[in-house]
Amino acid sequence: MNKNPPLTAMLMASSCAFLAACASVAVNSDALESRTSAALGIDRGTFTISNRTDEGIRTDYTVMTKSGIKYGCYVTGTVSVAGRTVSDAICKESARPAATKPAAEIREATGKPGKKNGRTPQQAIPAQKQTTTPSPAPDCNALLRAAGKC
């Protein structure tokens, strides 16, 4: 039987704190590449990771794709008796080359991906023809609009 319960509790608490290691130990470069590839939907090797900073369990870093798109990303990671755990990457686009437009903007402007009739999306539809659609009736949901029933 233990004759000093406070000492035992202190030792257990310090052991747990030691085992719950920070992100610099838990998050390695392979985990960063894997999580980033999955989050952005692009292949490994098509981007570079830089400006890594570890604070507590969080690792912040910058991603630059070969096409020149820049993302700010982070993951969290811990090491415990159960092993190493790294979260999914959370990324937000922070910069894009001037000539590159998101696919959604191109489809919105032209109705098709890429160029239309050899013109850029901005040239394809003159400014005076770019109008917004009136808001649908309140009883019309997204499914009915997609089916053309509104």
54-100: pLDDT as tens digits: 999 999 999 999 999 999 999 999 988 888 899 999 999 998 887 66
Tens-place pLDDT, residues 47-62: 999 999 999 999 999 9
Residue 132 backbone phi and psi in degrees, to 5: -90, 150
pTM for this one? 0.54
Q: Which one of 7-16, 58-67, 112-121, 128-137 scores highest in mean pLDDT? A: 58-67
In the prediction, which pLDDT does 107 show?
54
